[in-house]
Amino acid sequence: AVSSPPALSPFATASTLLTAAILCCAWTRAPPGTVARARSASRIQMTDQGPTTNAEDQARAAALKASGKAGGPGAAAADLDAFPTVEVQAGTFKYVLINAYTSDGSTSKTLVRSGPGSYHVDVATPTVDALKACGFVVDIPGGGRINRDDANKNVLIYGYSYGFGKADHALTSELVRKDFPGYNVSWSDEGY
């Protein structure tokens, strides 16, 4: 059965999303499955409890990627600075890397977004829509999962996205490390 996208979180009403697009801010959607992590002496085992992908998700991801290629006039470096580089919610969620460029290519910024969403496209859409509303050219080179454990001050980046492919986890970990000083930030190519 084809399902519709998840409802917006109570923190992201229609008016706040419109305001976000106008002010060039980004928001996330809600709610996905969870990922359980079990440690053994030699490796980390990760299992997903949420949906993986379907034809509708694949089509939505391809459409979102294609829609980001057309920038508009008025995109300025100052507007791009309004977007936080990293937005990672506590818990385990899907994540995407988003590259945003001014239409003339003179300025760019890579963003990390991780939060509730059944599919990676659900995590990417609010930020991509806000960037496009500001006139930026957008590319989504990949995704995966991020587990942010505040109690133990750990962030684990792993897995891949069926819709967007595997993100550069090394780059993601560099960006996250800057926003989470004092946290142990690691990454792995294991797991989904």
Which pair of tokens denotes residue 86?
């990293």
Residue 9 has pLDDT above 60, yes or no: no
Under a CB-based contact definition with an 8 Å cutoff, are residues 78 and 24 in contact? no
Q: What is the model's pLDDT at position 158?
A: 97
Residue 15 has pLDDT above 70, yes or no: no
| DSSP at 8 | B
Q: What is the model's pLDDT at position 42?
A: 26
Catalytic residue annotation: 120
Alpha carbons 29 and 9: distance in angstroms, whole number: 6
User: How high is the mean pLDDT of the chain?
Assistant: 76
Among 132, 7, 159, CA closest to 65: 132
Among 144, 137, 80, 139, CA closest to 114: 144
Tally of CB atoms within 10 A around 12:
17
Range of 10-19, 25-34, 40-49, 105-114 with top mean pLDDT: 105-114
Element (DSSP H or E) covering residue 139: strand 137-149
Among 28, 8, 26, CA closest to 133: 26
Q: Which ranges of 24-76 does DSSP label H, i.e. alpha helix? A: 55-67
Burial 158-174 (b: 16+ CB within 10 A, else e): bbbbbbbeebbbebbbe
Residues 6+ apart with CB under 8 A from 40: none
Q: What is the model's pLDDT at position 67?
A: 73
Q: What is the model's pLDDT at position 58?
A: 80
Instruction: Read off the pTM.
Output: 0.68
Tens of pLDDT, residues 95-131: 999 999 988 888 899 999 999 999 999 999 999 999 9
Of 186 and 60, the structure prediction assigns the larger pLDDT to: 186
- Identity of the amino acid at 102: T
How big is the CA angle at 89 (ends 86 and 94), to the nearest 5 degrees? 85
